[in-house]
Amino acid sequence: MLEFLLAEPQGQQLFWAWLIIGGSLLAIEIVLGTQWLLWPAAVAVIVAVITLTGAPANLLVQIVIFCVLTLIMTLLSRRFLKSPVAEGADINDPHHRLIGQEATVIGAFDDLEGQRVNGRVIFDGVEWLAQSERKDAPIGLSEKVRILAVSEGKLIVARL
């Protein structure tokens, strides 16, 4: 009985062990949502499939494969799967998605502050107070503008 407990897992036992490790890492990733454990979970499943081929019989070789593939996949994912959020921006900021979008002018841009011209725009069915840099020609009704920033509840816009 003692020999069975001390015996190193082989074949299908290692497959299920790696599959459980991958599933556990994936479950932790779902709870945390960090995206750091996604690739180790995927690599654990890959190593589980590799154990079925019988190629690396040694557990140490499998651990090395797991570590190397995890490192490679994590580095490649950071290089090729960049976040759409700009550096320093808060991922939870709902106004960040507005930047770069087009809005339609629904209220005249009146000169109230000397340097900026105030008006109203509509974006995605929501009416916003907007500001634009003073230019020679005023921005007219129904014209399209690009949203440059969101500041203090106002959209900073520019003519397209």
DSSP symbol at 132: E
Q: Does domain 94-159 have CATH number 2.40.50.140?
A: yes
pLDDT of residue 52: 85
Reference 50, options 37, 65, 39, 38; nearest CA is 65
Local structure of 127: helix, strand or coil = strand
pLDDT of residue 77: 82
Encode pLDDT of 116-156 as tens digits.
Answer: 688 899 998 889 999 887 665 678 888 899 998 888 888 88
Label residue 7 by pLDDT band (50, 70, 90). very low
Encode pLDDT of 79-127 as tens digits.
Answer: 776 555 555 556 666 677 788 899 999 987 766 555 668 889 999 888 9
> Residues of CATH 2.40.50.140 domain(s) within the chain?
94-159
pLDDT of residue 124: 86
- Phi-psi region at 68: left, alpha or beta (left = phi > 0; alpha = psi -120 to 50): alpha
Instruction: Centre a 10 Å sphere on the Cβ of residue 81 and count the other Cβ atoms it contains.
Output: 8
Encode pLDDT of 34-77 as tens digits.
Answer: 778 999 999 999 999 988 887 756 778 888 999 999 999 988 88
Local structure of 144: helix, strand or coil = strand
